Chains A and B, each alone.
Chain A
Amino acid sequence: MAALYPAYPKQTLIALRTLVWKETHRYLRIWVQTLVPPAITMTLYFIIFGSLIGSRVGVMDGYSFMEFIAPGIIMMSVITNSYTNVVSSFFGAKFQRHVEELLVSPTPNYVILAGYVAGGVGRGLFTGLIVTIIASFFADLEIHNIPVTISVVFLTAVLFSLGGFINGVFAKKFDDIAIVPTFILTPLTYLGGVFYSISMLPDFWQGLSMANPILYMVNAFRYGILGSSDIPIMTAYTLVIGFIIAGTALSLHLLKRGTGLRS
């Protein structure tokens, strides 16, 4: 299969390593913009919703409100940062035209995709770790199921990095990279059971919530940490892996066609 360049595995690996390092170095270099803001925002969430309001909410699904919202808030930061990292980095590369460095080189499309996704996953997980450390100051978190916790957070970061990549491919101006996070991602995350259990909602709204894919990721992650979930875990895995396969296929197709990249 010519597209996979099997004759050059060493060179392909070097190209991947270069791109991953470049993307990692990018978000670490501008850490004040990439790592500090989520830490501050999530700390405020814990103080306001967890401590101040949460103390009056009482117990939810058998856990204190602080314990209940901690997994959702961690997941929210992973989703937002994975997505934002890739969309801003890839669009920036298009805008400054240094994406041409990659397009002119023999770097295969799947390496380009993997490199950008790795950058998004790295930032998403790094931010998730920071928020987890902050959460540990507010709630006593004991991980119920480590494999589920790690796999769900990793797959979610991959999925939203792919989403950011697709958004970056289509984006033509800076407004285009803000529309999806602002008008789609944030509302879906807030309505994805971060701050409440959908069992509290009337039947109609419960049914509607089930159409929100982020609900599955938040609940699967909450299951990993607390052992409690509104949805079956396997459904969440199936959904996330299905979306990842579809997102990867679409991304590679767009790269092959040169959508937004080649005239």
Chain B
Amino acid sequence: MPELLCQSPFHPICSQKREGPQCPPVGYLNLLNSTPDPGWLSIHEQPGTLQKEGTNSYLCTLWPRPCDHRLGFPNMNALSLRQLNKTYSGGVTALHDVDLEVTPGDFFGLLGPNGAGKTTIIGIVASLVRATSGSVKIFGHDIVTEPWEAKSNLGLVPQEFNFNQFETVSQIVLNQAGYYGIDRRTAHERAEYYLRELDLWGKRNASSRSLSGGMKRRLMIARALVHEPRLLILDEPTAGVDIELRRSMWDFLRQMNERGTTIILTTHYLEEAESLCRNIGIIDGGRIIENTDMRSLLAKLKSQSFVLDISSAVGDLPNITDFYVVPIDEQTIEVEVRGDQTLSDLFKQLNAAGVEVTSMKNKANRLEELFVRMLGDRDNPPAKAV
């Protein structure tokens, strides 16, 4: 057993009595003369990870049982909206009797066109918008009657940058921790942890206005996480972010969700929602028009369109029975596959005709296709039989 010195004040974590929502403690292990024993953490009966940071330094992240969000409040909804209504002073009704429940540990996507009411819902949950009527509970705590308990469980990453442009990155995160009553020492540790996780540690002393757009987005995530909320709401977190950063943010959010943080995501990138979310709510015109799990939702897609690049010329293409085929150019076709058909059927027919498919892709993301159709049905309802 190597001699390990954990510089974290949380070490040994089991002896620490902690108040309020728990947190992932993090510390640095200075290693003397040996590599760390991977079993060290389990010897101490603590789940966690060891990550090499330098020659003799390891980043030690411990996840003590009381701090594990996965074990908290199993029978309580992470978010519960009841008969929520909002009419703005100008007379515009943004929400109509919205009922919504998000279970703990869920990765929930709230989708809808611009002006549907997504941001109003988030605003009400975050106490930035006053509800006309109805109730909001976060992990069973009403935001009006138990604001401290409710708000301590909530982290918000808003759509627009809303931090002080004149403060440094670390000041912003530390101040936010202070507003949640987190003592300075813990705040420093958490700030370091999340700024490192989000690759902002090198910018900790930089003025926030000097950050790039992607860094600003990550700063808002770090700020929202510093008080270790059980429920994290992200309002279009990847808007205007390049694909590489977007994917790294997806990975980070997946990790947070795997650790038990309930996540509610709004986005206009529907492949993002399809990739991340387990359950989806679709809001339109201030009403929840769909609220189900991703699999059931995608099962509603009656057909999908695929774009196929083929080796032979389109003009030589034999008749493909049962499939609706539209030529796009000389060697590209679009094929519609209904819910009762399979891609195997299509390929069998193409193979039998001697047509080689060189590549294939969805014409549109499945969720996007469904979303567009659902909203299209709203705008063009089927004619009533006379």
Residue numbers of A with Cβ under 8 A of B are: 2, 5, 7-8, 10-12, 14-15, 17-19, 22, 26, 29, 93, 96-98, 100-108, 258, 262-263
Contacts and interface: CB of A to CB of B under 8 A. Distances in A.
Contact of B127 (A2, A10, A22, A103): A103
Given A14-B183, A106-B148, 14 more contacts: A7-B148, A14-B178, A17-B178, A19-B178, A96-B163, A96-B164, A97-B162, A98-B163, A104-B127, A104-B151, A105-B151, A106-B150, A108-B148, A262-B130
Nearest to A7: B148
In this complex, the interface size class of chain B, counting residues with CB under 8 Å from chain A, is 35 or more
Interface of B: 20, 88-89, 123, 126-130, 145-152, 154, 156, 158, 160, 162-166, 171, 174-184, 223, 227
B176 A11 contact: no
Given A100-B158, A104-B156, A15 B128 contact: no
Contact of A100 (B146, B151, B162, B174): B162
B179 A10 contact: no
A93 B172 CA distance: 13
A102 B162 CA distance: 11
A29 B158 CA distance: 28
A143 to B, nearest CB: 37
Q: Which secondary structure dominates where chain B touches chain A?
A: loop
A19 B179 contact: yes
Contacts of B148: 5, 7-8, 11, 106, 108
Contacts of A5: 147-148
Contact of A106 (B152, B158, B165): B152
A2 B141 CA distance: 13
Residue of A7, A11, A17 most packed against chain B (CB within 10 A): A11
Given A101-B163, A263-B129, A106 B88 contact: no
Nearest to B154: A104
Contacts of A97: 160, 162
A107 B179 contact: yes
Contacts of A17: 178
A126 to B, nearest CB: 20
B178 A18 contact: yes
Contacts of A22: 171, 175
A106 B129 contact: no
B152 A263 contact: no
A14 B227 CA distance: 13
Q: Which 10 A-B pairs have the closest CB atoms?
A: A11-B181, A18-B178, A105-B179, A97-B162, A106-B151, A106-B148, A98-B164, A14-B181, A107-B179, A104-B126
B127 A8 contact: no
Contacts of B88: 263
A97 to B, nearest CB: 4
Contacts of A10: 181
A116 B128 CA distance: 19
B171 to A, nearest CB: 8
Contact of B147 (A14, A98, A106): A106
A260 B148 CA distance: 22
Residue of A2, A12, A93, A105 most packed against chain B (CB within 10 A): A105
A102 B165 CA distance: 16
A19 B174 CA distance: 11
Nearest to A112: B179
A102 B174 CA distance: 13
Residue of A7, A29, A98, A103 most packed against chain B (CB within 10 A): A98
Contacts of A106: 147-152, 179-181
A233 to B, nearest CB: 40
B130 to A, nearest CB: 5
B182 A14 contact: yes
Nearest to B150: A106
Contacts of A12: 181
Contact of B123 (A11, A101, A105, A263): A263
Nearest to A25: B171
Nearest to B233: A104
25 contacts: A2-B147, A14-B183, A17-B178, A18-B174, A19-B178, A22-B171, A22-B175, A26-B166, A29-B166, A96-B162, A96-B165, A97-B160, A98-B162, A101-B162, A101-B223, A102-B179, A103-B127, A103-B128, A104-B126, A104-B156, A106-B181, A108-B147, A262-B128, A262-B129, A263-B130
B334 to A, nearest CB: 45
